[in-house]
Amino acid sequence: MYRVVEIEEVRDEAKDVKTFFFRDTSNPQPGQFYMIWIPQVDEFPMSISYIGELKGFTVKKIGKGTTKMHSLQKGDKLWLRGPYGKGFKIEEGKALVVGGGTGMATLAPLAEMLGNKDIIIAAKSEDEIIFRNRFKENVFFATDDGSLGFKGFATKLAERMIEEDDYKIIYTCGPEMMIRKMVDIAKERKIKIQASLERYMKCGIGICDSCTINGYRVCVDGPVFSEEILFSMDDLGRRWRAKSGKSISKEENHDIGEKSQ
């Protein structure tokens, strides 16, 4: 069963990224996702980026469904099911939030709830940075080309900040290679970590086995996983599943890009 929501506002966030605001009866946790159906076009998973009374999806134009969604305006409708999956759990102590690309959309409602935290917002370049003004303090930017903030990968900046501060927990979301690196850093430095993963998802309800990584279903067991599982995930950043379920390597996976949700 779907329920229909009406888009109340569309906001440009960055190059090819827009936020769609709507009202809905559901009560999502940060890190949870919905399945958005645009009839006769596509259905795709999308994590929630605003969880207040006015809820939001922050969407990058990538595939057929998200491209169509970008053409929608105030007053247009979305068909939803969800929220699904397990969201973030708030841990004690100072947090480091590391968001790459639109991965920051998944982390933003969590970051707003955290007390003591630093936030890294990263992207390839300045024009792809989202939520530049959403957080008032403790925000650090990283861009691959140095057009805003630290020049280089988010993981490099994170390593430097971890050297200098006593973080108790890392929250991260973004390209899987970035997550892999953050998990390795957390393991080496014995810091807790939670990461929201993205894998090719079909049913969204834990039956089809499409988004499974090392026996864990991203849609039901995740999308947010904690260190005890992340440290054991051999395939994270190494092996993927094609739409057919075939196991493929990084080289065979042409879809690895930014987090498309």
Chain contacts with other proteins (rule: CB under 8 A): 1-2, 4, 35, 37, 39-40, 42-44, 77, 79, 81, 202-210, 212, 214-215, 217, 241-247
Based on CB atoms, which residue is closest to other proteins, 31 or 204? 204
Long-range CB contact pairs, 178-182, < 8 A, 24+? 178/98, 178/100, 178/103, 178/122, 178/153, 178/154, 179/236, 179/237, 180/236, 180/237, 180/238, 181/153, 181/155, 181/237, 182/98, 182/155, 182/158
In the complex, least distance from residue 124 CB atom to other proteins, rounded to whole angstroms: 28
Based on CB atoms, which residue is closest to other proteins, 161 or 205? 205
Distance CA 62, CA 45 (A): 13
In the complex, least distance from residue 244 CB atom to other proteins, rounded to whole angstroms: 5
Based on CB atoms, which residue is closest to other proteins, 163 or 251? 251
In the complex, least distance from residue 82 CB atom to other proteins, rounded to whole angstroms: 10
In the complex, least distance from residue 194 CB atom to other proteins, rounded to whole angstroms: 21
Of 101, 78, 100, 99, the residue nearest 15 (C-alpha): 101
In the complex, least distance from residue 79 CB atom to other proteins, rounded to whole angstroms: 6
Based on CB atoms, which residue is closest to other proteins, 180 or 217? 217
